Chains A and B, each alone.
Chain A
Amino acid sequence: MTIYSFYIFDRHCECIYVKQWHQRDRTFRPTSSSASTVDSPVALASDRHSSTSSKLQNEVHPSSRGGRLSVQDDAKLVFGVVFSLRNMVRKLSGPDDSFISYRTGSYKLHYYETATNLKFVLLTDVKMNNLKVVLHQIYVNLYVEFGEFFSIEHPGGEGVAVELFEMGLDSFIRTIQD
Chain B
Amino acid sequence: MSATKAARVGEDVWKTRIDKVNAELVTLTYGSIVAQLCRDFEGDYLEVNKQLEKMGYNIGLRLIEDFLAKTNMGKCANFRETAETIAKVGFKVFLNITPTVANWTTDNKQFSLIFEENPLADFVELPDDGRAQNELWYSNMLCGVLRGTLEMVQMQVDAHFASDILRGNEVTEMRVTLVRIIDDELPPGED
Q: Do A and B come from one complex?
A: yes
Please list the residues of chain A having a beta carbon within 8 angstroms of any beta carbon in chain B.
11-13, 52-53, 55-56, 79-80, 83, 96, 114-118, 139-140, 143-144, 148-149, 152
Q: Give A152 to B68 CA distance when docked, in angstroms.
A: 16
Set of chain A residues within 8 Å of B185, measured between Cβ atoms:
11-13, 117
Known: A116-B64, A116-B153. 19 other contacts (CB 8 A): A11-B152, A11-B185, A13-B186, A13-B188, A56-B189, A79-B187, A114-B65, A115-B68, A115-B73, A115-B75, A115-B153, A117-B154, A117-B184, A118-B65, A140-B69, A140-B70, A144-B69, A148-B65, A152-B62
**Can you pick out 20 interface pairs between chain A and chain B where the beta carbons lie within 8 Å of each other?**
A11-B152, A13-B186, A13-B187, A52-B190, A53-B187, A56-B189, A80-B187, A114-B68, A115-B73, A115-B74, A115-B153, A116-B68, A117-B184, A117-B185, A139-B69, A140-B69, A140-B72, A143-B65, A144-B69, A148-B66
Chain B, Cβ-Cβ closest to A143: B65
- How distant is the Cα of A11 from the Cα of B64 in the complex, in angstroms? 13
B61 at the interface (CB under 8 A from A): yes
Tell me the nearest residue of chain B to A52, going by C-beta: B190
Contact size class for B? Answer: 20 to 34
By beta carbon, the residue of chain A nearest B153 is: A115
Question: What total of A-B pairs shows CB separation below 8 Å?
Answer: 50
- B181 smallest CB distance to A (angstroms): 11
A78 to chain B, nearest CB (A): 12
